[in-house]
Amino acid sequence: MSPTAHKFDSTILREYDIRGVVGKTLHPADARAIGRSFGTMVRRKGGKRVALGYDGRLSSPELAAACIEGLTAAGVNVVNIGLAATPMLYFAVWHLDADGGIQITGSHNPPDYNGFKMMMGKKSFFGADILKLGELSAKGDFESGQGSVEERNILPDYAARLLKDVKPGRKLKVAWDTGNGAVGVSIRAVVEKLPGEHFVLNEQVDGTFPAHHPDPTVPKNLEQLIAEVRRRGCDLGIAFDGDGDRIGAVDGKGRILWGDQLMILWARDVLKERPGATIIADVKASQALFDEILRAGGTPLMWKTGHSLIKTKMAELKAPLAGEMSGHVFFADTFFGFDDALYCALRLLNIVANGRESLAEMRDKLPQLVNTPELRFDCPEERKFKIVEEVRERLKQAGAKLNDIDGVRVSTPDGWWLLRASNTQAVLVARCESANEAGLERLKNDLKTALAQSGVSLPDEASAGH
C-alpha cells in the first residue's frame, strides 16, 4: 500500500478516543489510516507488536479488517484477539506484553456509532496523542513494512486472571445483564466457575441491541435487570455497557447503586489492606464518597472526569483504586489499573459474599443525600469552555468556595453544585447535591443564577435524582 495522506472528519478525533457515525463521519478508509498512523507511532517508539480486538457492533469486523491493513502496512505485527470486550483487549496488551493495543468499539453510543480506544505500551493513548495521530495521517508521514497477523484466543487466560481474585464466601444468587454487548463473549467463562446461582440476560452479542440500550447509568436500561432480580429473589444484579468497561449494579430490592455509592464499598474494602492510600474519584462524585474515604482512613483526591485522565493520574500517584460517577472503575491494588467492569463485579461479589450484611443493608447504611442526575444541555462547542470560565471568574470575585480542577465545583452550607464542559460533546454538564430537598432547590437556584449571567438557561428536567 503506498503511503497517501488521509484527513479525518474534524468531529471524530476526541479527547479520550476516536469516535464517529459509521457511513457519515467514520469509514473503513479512516480505520485504515488510523492503523497506519498508530502503527507508525508504535514503530517510532521502537515497538513492533499491537493487540487488536473489536466489539459486537455490525460495523466492527469491517473496521477491524481495515485497521489491521493499516497496521501491517506500517510494518507492525498484529495479534488479533477477535470479538471481545474492551478490558479483554487491555488485558491482552499486558498479558502478551504488546507494544500497544487498539479496540474497535462504539462503547455505549447508539448502534450507528463506532470508534477506537487505544493504548501505547501499557498507558492510555489520548489527548495530544490523538492529535498527533491526526497530523501524521494528514501529512501521509507513515512508516512502511510488511507486518504479520496472528489470531489468538485470549479468553481462557483472561477468565483465569479474573477468577484469581475471587474470595470464597457464602453462595450468592446473582442476575447479570450483558445488554447484548461484548461482555457476552466472556461472561460464561467467568460465572460458571463462581459459587452460587447465576442468571445471564441478553448474553447473545448483537450490535442492534434488541433488549435495551447498553448504558447502565440510565435507569430505564436497568428495568429488565431489576425485574429479574425481584423475580428470582437475587442478592444483587450487575449490568454492563456495550464494551464492558463500565458497571451498573442493583441490590436485592431492585434499587440502583450508582458509581459513587459502589466506590464507597470498594474503597472501604481496599483501605483495610492499604490504610492511608490515595483513592481518586471524579468531580461529579458525591461528597459522601470523599467523606467516607477519609472516614475509612484513606486520602481522597478529586480529579478530572475522563477515564484516560483518571488512569493517568492513578498511575502517577500509585493509587490502588479510582472511579468515576459514570461507572468506569479502576483497581490497581491486585489488578492492572484499567477499567474492567467484570473484574469490578467480582470485587463487589467478594464484599457481599464475605460480609455480614446484604447489599441492600449496606446501601441503607450509606449516607442518604439528595441530588440531581447528571444534567447535560446543549451548548455551542466554541462557547462551552468560555461559559465555565466566566462563571468561575465571577464566583472567585464573589469569594465563593470552589474547586476548579475540572470546571467549577462550588461548596455552600447547602451542599455543592458543579458546572463543567464535556470534553467529547457540545454540551455543558451540571450536578447538585444536598442533605435535603430544600437545600437542593437553593443549589439549583444558585446554578441557574450563575448560568443566567452568561445567557444560558438550565433545562426544566433539573429535578431531584438519586
Closest CA to 201 of 181, 215, 219: 181
Contact 238, 345 (CB under 8 A): yes
Any bridge partners for residue 115, and if so which? 19
Rounded CA-CA distance 142/40 in Å is 6
107 given a catalytic annotation? yes
Nearest 5°: the CA angle 305, 310, 313 is 130
What is the gyration radius of the CA atoms in the chain, in angstroms? 22
Cell numbers representing residue 253 in the block? 430490592
How buried is 238 (Cβ within 10 angstroms: 0-12 exposed, 13-18 middle, 19+ buried)? buried
Any bridge partners for residue 101, and if so which? 51, 119
Total number of residues shown for the chain: 466
Listing DSSP states for 183-243 in one string gives GGGTHHHHHTTSSSEEEEES-S--TT-SSS-S-TTSGGGGHHHHHHHHHHT-SEEEEE-TT
Which of 107, 124, 308, 326 is an active site residue? 107
Residue showing cell 502478551 = 96
Cell numbers representing residue 229 in the block? 432480580
The residues that are catalytic are 107
